[in-house]
Amino acid sequence: MKVITDLHIHSRYARACSKDLSIKTLSKYAKIKGVDILGTGDFQHPEWIKELKKELTEVSQGIFESKDKMKFMLTTEISLMYSQEGKGRRIHLVTLAPSFEVVDQIIDTLSKKGRLDYDGRPIFGMSCIDYVDMMMKISKDIEIIPGHAWTPWFGVFGSKSGFDSLKECFQEKTKHIHAIETGISSTPDMNWRLSKLDNISIVSFSDLHSYWPHRLGREATVFDIDNLSYNELLERIRNNEKFETIEFFPEEGKYHYDGHRNCGVVASPAECKKLKGICPNCKKPLTIGVAHRIEELADRPEGYKPKNAKPFTRLIPLLELISASIGTGVSSKKTFEVYYKLIKAFSNEYNILLNVKEHELENVVDKKIIDLIIKNRSGKINFIPGYDGVYGHPVFEGVEVNKKEIKPVKKEQKSLEEF
């Protein structure tokens, strides 16, 4: 049995997240997307944990179900800010727990280290080493996964405050780290270039800040299991076996290329090296993106594939494809009308993007939308890469998808040839 999971999410109690996030809205849109199990996110927040205990019922070991029959696992993300080896570190760690009893112990322990009520993603001044040690003393069944591992600001390998290896970060506690999350700006094949990650599971989740289907499940991990339980999913992660991932196109991520958002400057790793990492406009350092950071740490050539490589699929969310086709905003009424027409016909978004035959789609939507769905499925897509907090976007025959959602920069994006 295959189950699609999105285990890195947030609640309405996390900063910069939709205030409409609830178990009800998450359940509704997860079903529309085609996700089988959601993480709860933010389980240590005092208000959210009350809601979780009220709304969720355990249906198998470590697997909970909402009143709308959506399945959940208990998860959160913790932000650690500290100094190690003379450098300020900022690392996000996704944490999975097997039961409310274990969560209660985590809450009790963390409450002695700082406040839990001001944000669904609380900040602590402890190191990753100390955090892992603390969790393992509570339960060996707690799983800790470095979130969006390559992003500049809060990734374990990030250019701004990260490390060059898991060993450097976690030291003697590295034995308890079994997986990393690719993040929006990287895919498994980029991670395969580091031999140090050969025995580490490469998983993917959305890190959603809203419940809309172009955010929820935009990345996911598909586990092949026999009996649905927390322990079996944990076994798949720890043994690096029987799973595959659904990925965002990394170029569409906010930190794929190098750049400087305020100056509208974007650069490939090669271009950045020519500039010596300095913005040609304001003369300040460029934010080094994921593609560049992987080049720095890789000990294998591009295209290398290890023997135990897991399958993965790159997908653009369906709403973005519809938006491009009909020329309306991703969140517009017209875009959603077409989206729900497809959902009504074919059950959920993943089924449409991955499985529905071209001739079946012809009975529901026009050829332009069908062509984009097929191009998406076959990976025949060009992109303008994201950089320094600005989402990248795909381009289909001159139409830029998701353009309305790109946050403006102070100046028009510039070609490096202008400098």
- 202 has which bridge partners? 180
> Would 138 be classed as within a structural domain?
yes
**pLDDT at residue 397, as a whole number:** 66
Q: Which two tokens stand for residue 318?
A: 């369906």
Number of domains in the chain: 2
> Would 48 be classed as within a structural domain?
yes
> Would 332 be classed as within a structural domain?
yes
What is the rounded CA–CA span in Å between residue 176 and residue 142?
Answer: 10
Q: Which two tokens stand for residue 227?
A: 């009996």
> Would 350 be classed as within a structural domain?
yes
Q: What confidence tens digit (pLDDT) does each residue in 363-397 have?
A: 999 999 999 999 999 888 889 999 999 999 898 76
**pLDDT at residue 396, as a whole number:** 79
**pLDDT at residue 419, as a whole number:** 31
Do residues 373 and 236 share a domain? no
Do residues 234 and 372 share a domain? no
> Among candidates 385, 160, 382, which has minimal Cα distance to 269?
385
> Among candidates 172, 333, 331, 314, which has minimal Cα distance to 248?
314
SS3 390: strand
Final residue in a domain of this structure, among 222, 251, 280: 251
Do residues 105 and 193 share a domain? yes
Structural domain of 345: 317-378
**pLDDT at residue 407, as a whole number:** 35
Q: Element (H or E) spanning 296, and its range?
A: helix 290-297
Do residues 85 and 216 share a domain? yes
- What sign has the CA pseudo-torsion 38, 43, 46, 50? positive
Do residues 197 and 323 share a domain? no
Q: What confidence tens digit (pLDDT) does each residue in 210-252 have?
A: 999 999 999 999 999 999 999 999 999 999 999 999 999 999 9
Do residues 88 and 195 share a domain? yes
> Would 330 be classed as within a structural domain?
yes
* Residue in the block written with tokens 């001044």: 125
Do residues 56 and 197 share a domain? yes
Given a contact cutoff of 8 angstroms between Cβ atoms, the answer to whether 240 and 221 are in contact is no
> Would 269 be classed as within a structural domain?
no
What is the rounded CA–CA span in Å between residue 48 and residue 10?
Answer: 10
Kindly report the CATH number assigned to the domain that includes residue 102: 3.20.20.140
What is the rounded CA–CA span in Å between residue 157 and residue 169?
Answer: 9
**pLDDT at residue 195, as a whole number:** 97
Distances, alpha carbon 419 to alpha carbons 280, 282, 316, 381, 415, in Å: 6, 11, 33, 29, 8
Given a contact cutoff of 8 angstroms between Cβ atoms, the answer to whether 377 and 354 are in contact is yes
**pLDDT at residue 327, as a whole number:** 92
> Would 12 be classed as within a structural domain?
yes
> Would 265 be classed as within a structural domain?
no
pTM above 0.75, yes or no: yes
Do residues 138 and 227 share a domain? yes
What is the rounded CA–CA span in Å between residue 101 and residue 64?
Answer: 13
Do residues 195 and 52 share a domain? yes
Do residues 79 and 216 share a domain? yes
Q: Which residues of the chain have pLDDT under 50?
A: 398, 400-419
Bin 171: left if φ > 0, else alpha if -120 < ψ < 50, else beta: left
**pLDDT at residue 380, as a whole number:** 84
Final residue in a domain of this structure, among 251, 271, 292: 251
Could you count the other beta carbons within 10 Å of the beta carbon of residue 307?
5
Do residues 37 and 147 share a domain? yes
Q: How many residues does the chain have?
A: 419
Do residues 231 and 109 share a domain? yes
Beta strands in 277-336 (DSSP E): 312-314
Q: What confidence tens digit (pLDDT) does each residue in 158-198 have?
A: 999 999 999 999 999 999 999 999 999 999 999 999 999 99
Final residue in a domain of this structure, among 195, 224, 251: 251
